[in-house]
Amino acid sequence: MTGTVAAPQAISVTYRVILRQLVTTGRVVGLGLIGVAVAVVGWAVGQSIESSASVRLENAVGVISLVAFTIVVPVVSLVFAAASLGDTREDGTLVYLWLRPMRRWTVVVGAWLAAVTVSLPLTVIPTVLTAMLLDVGSDLIVATIIASALGVLAYSALFVLLGLLVKNAIVWGLGYVIIWEGVVAAFGSSAAKVAIRGYTSSILTARTGVQLELGDLSQTVGIVVPALIAVGALVLAAVRLDRLEVA
C-alpha cells in the first residue's frame, strides 16, 4: 500500500509501544520471585545431594526439567506473550497500531520481540543460576541455556497467536502447559510432537545423557523444531491479525 511504514520502523514502533505495556511492576516482581524460588530450590538440592556423580547428575537434570521447563519457562512466556497483543486488543491500544499504515506481520513480530525481551532474562537467568547451584558440571549449564532460550522463543510465538485467537488466553495457555504437555503428551508419541517441552527435554537429554520423559529426540531436532514452531506460529498470528476486526 502507498505510504506503508518500512518494516524495520514498523517493528520498532510496535516493539516500543507493547514493551511499555508489558513491563509492569506487578508482573516483573511476581514472576521474578518465581525465578528466585527456583534458584533457592536448586541451591537446596545441590547442598543435599550426597551420592555418586551419576546420581547427582540425574537428580539435578530432573530438578531443572521439573522446575524450569515445566513451570518457569512456559508460564513466564505465557504471561507476557498472551498479553502482548491480547491485552492491547482489549484496551484499545491495538487500534492505534492498526490504523497506522503498517503490514500486519510487522505488528506480530514487534509484539513477539517485546514479549521475548521481557521473558528471556526472567527465565534464562534463574534457570541457569539453578543449574550452576546444582554443581554437576558444565553440560547441564549449557543445555539449560540452549533449551531455555529456545523454549522462550517457541512458547512466546505460540502464545502471541493464542492471545489473538481466544479471550482468557492465560487460562487456555495454562491448560496447554498443564494438561497437554504435562499429561497427554506423556502418554502418546504423536501428542509429544506438538509439545514444546518434548524438545527442551530432548536437548537436556542429549547434552547430559540423562533420559527424561519426552526427551527421546536428537539434539538437532530439539533445536530445529522449536525454531520452526516459532516461525509457524508467527505466520499464523499475522494471518489472524490481518483478518481481525479491531474496534
Full pLDDT tens readout for the chain, 247 residues: 445 778 888 899 889 988 988 888 888 888 778 777 777 776 676 666 556 777 888 888 888 888 888 889 999 999 999 998 877 777 666 777 777 778 889 989 999 999 999 999 999 998 998 888 887 889 999 999 999 999 999 999 999 999 988 888 899 999 988 888 877 666 656 666 778 888 998 999 999 988 887 778 888 999 999 999 999 999 999 999 888 765 5
Res 2: pLDDT: 47
For residue 39, the tally of other CB atoms under 10 A from its CB is 20
CB 134 within 8 A of CB 60: yes
Structurally, the chain folds into a number of domains equal to 1
| Domain extent at residue 236 | 7-242
* 164, 241 contact by CB (below 8 A): yes
H-type alpha helices, the chain:
7-22, 25-48, 53-63, 73-91, 93-99, 104-134, 138-165, 169-175, 189-192, 196-208, 219-243
Angle, to 10 degrees, between the axis of helix 196-208 and the axis of helix 138-165?
170
Indicate whether 32 belongs to any domain.
Answer: yes
Position 145 scores a pLDDT of 94
pTM here is: 0.89
- Residue 2 within any structural domain of the chain: no
Other CB atoms within 10 A of residue 96 CB: 12
Supply the pLDDT for residue 233: 96
- pLDDT score of 181: 81
pLDDT (tens digit per residue) in 101-159: 788 899 899 999 999 999 999 999 989 988 888 878 899 999 999 999 999 999 999 99
What's the CA gap between 121 and 35, in Å, rounded? 10
Asked whether residue 136 is assigned to any structural domain, the reply reads yes
Taking every pair of Cα atoms in the chain, the longest distance, rounded to a whole number of angstroms, is 68
Residue 183: C-alpha distances to residues 204, 211, 217 (Å): 20, 18, 19
Mean pLDDT of the chain, nearest integer: 84
Q: Is 201 a member of any domain?
A: yes
Residue 68 resides in a domain: yes
Asked if the structure places residue 247 within a domain, the reply is no
